A = this chain, B = another copy of it.
């Protein structure tokens, strides 16, 4: 089959690789119908040391079950399914805690001999616990929005959920990437009274407004945080959803949150240490969030996608076929595209 392999920073190729086959009785093989490029894929795209062996890329996909192992239950060949961006058994202590990302039988696509999602097919480990059957057809107009449940919308939702966004909450979202825009939509869906989007690009923040942002701030840093305070009676936001991961956006988040408020981080942090000393203590600020256990949220969110209540698929602004994936990486890295959808 054809699949996406990264050989180093800026070096993404679509190549012929062996077709996936069932290796364990808990495996399934899924023929990919839609895949996507994630903002987190840009980290190795910018910094991965050159390698001869390469790394299979992609962790967002949905498709048709093509084969199942003898122990897989709940699915049959021909089912349309999606996978959250990590696989997990969905039966252990951690999965029962809603923390599928810590499942000892779980893992990440593209590692340890598991295929990436940006290819024609994927061997899915722990298929019974991982895959979610979609009550839709493979040509459904909902596929774009359903695709966002693999990662990007659930990641925005994780930011809002761990920050306890609820009716009445005043929220600031830092970052107008696809995750930030999904965090706006998620906060709105959870009933936030106010959703202030801090971004840099009006074409992106316009979509944020469509998603429910009540205010848009196009200035960054302390100046932007001062705008947030001005919009919240001088107090700061109850919840700041930090969807970028830089030290600058973290500092902005501390300046934009109110005393006693919550900062929830879902961006990949580019720092190892951060400002958690006396100021955070005196202001009683909570720092939460983390890598999104998407599987935990999908069942709850799926109905709202199926009935059109939310349309997170609007974050996809460029659709490419598999051979054009390297162009997709380039477009996202150069900020020409917000998020790239792939149709193998």
Which residues of B have CB within 8 Å of A284? 99, 101-102, 162, 289-291, 293
Decide if B259 touches A94 in the complex (CB within 8 Å): yes
CA distance A278 to B268 in the complex (A): 7
A233, A268, A281 pick with most chain B CB within 10 angstroms: A281
A141 interface hit (Cβ, 8 Å):
no
Chain B hits for A265, CB < 8 A: 281
Whether A202 sits at the interface, judged by CB under 8 Å, is no
Residues of B within 8 A of A271 (CB): 276-277
Interface size on A, residues (CB 8 A): 36
- B residues near A293, Cβ cutoff 8 Å: 284
Knowing A102-B259, A259-B102, A260-B99, the reply to whether A282 touches B291 (Cβ < 8 A) is: yes
* A237 vs chain B, min Cβ distance (A): 13
Answer whether residue A93 sits at the interface, using C-beta atoms and an 8 A cutoff: yes
Contacts of A272 on B, CB cut-off 8 Å?
275, 277-278
Q: Is A139 an interface residue (CB 8 A)?
A: no
23 contacts between A and B (CB under 8 A): A94-B259, A98-B260, A99-B259, A101-B284, A102-B260, A102-B283, A102-B284, A268-B278, A269-B277, A271-B276, A272-B275, A272-B277, A273-B273, A273-B274, A273-B277, A274-B276, A274-B277, A281-B290, A281-B291, A282-B291, A284-B291, A286-B286, A288-B288
Query: Besides the contacts A94-B259, A99-B259, A276-B276, what 16 more A-B pairs have beta carbons closer than 8 Å?
Result: A93-B233, A93-B235, A94-B260, A99-B284, A101-B282, A102-B283, A265-B281, A269-B278, A272-B277, A272-B278, A273-B274, A273-B276, A281-B289, A281-B290, A285-B290, A286-B288
